Chain A
């Protein structure tokens, strides 16, 4: 219900297609506990309980641009989550300089993973398809139809495969130039929950910055 309300809200505001439709996870599903196949990432009918952490993640296509965003919060106070979000906030501040200084995708992924371990968090984005820390996003994505398969719009499959899949996915095997637009989605886990953010990072030849900082 929550995920479909997010989709409905976006559609009512002019979105006609999705890179991927909304995901909504809460409780231990935010760290993908019990998720064994891709179909199990999809939202379920489980009701959220007070104090539980939730994650919303959606990627609408608007005016030819993919806006992939992820957000973590909790229903009521959750001190453990506050701590996790502080860690993610610090990581977010560091990531642009990590991208511009380290330069190699595989090393960035390993460095982020080490930061997770040092802070005592599990790496949950390793459980994503292809264990990605992020993926490229592109301009001029067609919005002509909203046909989806496994929650992803045809535009996602087309955008990722037509340009060579492995160059589009940022994981420990990534090689090549990082220049371009990236949806970066570090996802950490504790025993009870997971937390993430997802934002668009602009990577240039010598610098990197969050797209939202342009405003």
Chain B
């Protein structure tokens, strides 16, 4: 466990110790998860990358967090200060990987970082703007019933805290998360409630986001979705390309927690994408007469980019 002091307190994270030579991989977890669910990715990437998996939305410890501090831009600012602490010179290649509720945060952070970002990878999740535009789809509304339930004050808290062995394991079963990785019951009540309050903060942002002009990322984006995800149906290219100028979408057999259930396949796809981007970065550095910012070992350790759709 590591921590840095962020703008508004301490930010804790799992991963590998700071190493200013290695490219950064920032993994953002979803609900009702913790960074521990990135275990397979930490193991796979830690030899040549600095892997950082922060606790998001008050999931660390036992202190209640105001809902206002869970807005996507608040979290993005927290993560920006984490990145600043890890890489003050801003020269190391940086990839952000988000899953589920980590995706709106990942996307907002990517927009904040703009050209600083080497690549964004999203797993079974959407940006706030994409989600806002989906809420007029009955298909999505039927899958997002829990998000609407979480908006009801008192009742949702009561159900979540008095029935912890019911609701969360139900979500895990639905999303096909292997039993040994179901960590919801180990979260403290406060952490669980903090985590749920993220949905309130994000839903309040949706109306403004709905009418905002899309900010198009210039960094490459890889979107991976399970074709049987019970919480989100896979996006179309048109849906995502409004916010991503270099987009690749991979639809795989599977449900919601692909990075756990299908970790070998997912690691290989992530590795391929990262390899591809790092290779391009080395080429650019060379063509500009700069010494490459990354060792060839980092790229050679990864699989070659797989065929993309």
Contact = CB atoms under 8 A, between A and B. Distances in A.
A102 interface: no
A158 interface: no
B308 interface: no
Interface string B47-82: 000000000000000000000110101101100000
Nearest to A47: B114
Nearest to A11: B68
A1 B111 contact: yes
A12 B114 contact: no
Contacts of B69: 12
A12 B69 CA distance: 6
A1 B213 contact: no
B8 interface: yes
A11 B73 CA distance: 11
Contacts of A47: 114
B74 A8 contact: yes
A45 B129 CA distance: 15
Interface string A72-114: 0000000000000000000000000000000000000000000
Contacts of B213: 45
Contacts of B7: 9, 12-13
B79 to A, nearest CB: 12
B8 A13 contact: yes
A12 B77 CA distance: 10
Contacts of A8: 71, 73-74, 77
A7 to B, nearest CB: 8
Contacts of A12: 7-8, 68-69, 74, 77
Q: Which residue among A5, A13, A45 has the maximum number of chain B CB atoms within 10 Å of its CB?
A: A5
Interface in B190-241: 213, 215
Contacts of B8: 12-13
A12 B213 CA distance: 25
Contacts of A5: 73, 76-77, 112
A13 B78 CA distance: 12
Contacts of B215: 1, 45
Q: Which residue among B71, B73, B114 has the maximum number of chain A CB atoms within 10 Å of its CB?
A: B73
Interface in B246-284: none
Contacts of B76: 5
A177 interface: no
Contacts of B68: 11-12
A89 to B, nearest CB: 28
A13 B69 CA distance: 10
Nearest to A7: B73
Given A12-B7, A45-B213, A4 B114 contact: no
Contacts of A9: 7, 77
A71 B153 CA distance: 41
A22 B18 CA distance: 35
A9 B68 CA distance: 11
Interface string B87-121: 00000000000000000000000011010000000
Nearest to B9: A12
A118 B114 CA distance: 40
A21 B7 CA distance: 20
Given A8-B71, A12-B69, A45-B213, A1 B77 contact: no
Nearest to B115: A47
A147 to B, nearest CB: 15
24 contacts: A1-B111, A1-B112, A1-B215, A4-B73, A5-B76, A5-B77, A5-B112, A8-B73, A8-B74, A8-B77, A9-B7, A9-B77, A11-B68, A11-B74, A12-B8, A12-B68, A12-B69, A12-B74, A12-B77, A13-B7, A13-B8, A45-B213, A45-B215, A47-B114
Return the 7 tightest CB-CB contacts between A and B, nearest first: A8-B73, A12-B74, A12-B8, A8-B74, A45-B213, A9-B77, A12-B69
Given A11-B68, A13-B7, A45-B215, 5 more contacts: A1-B215, A5-B73, A5-B77, A8-B74, A12-B74
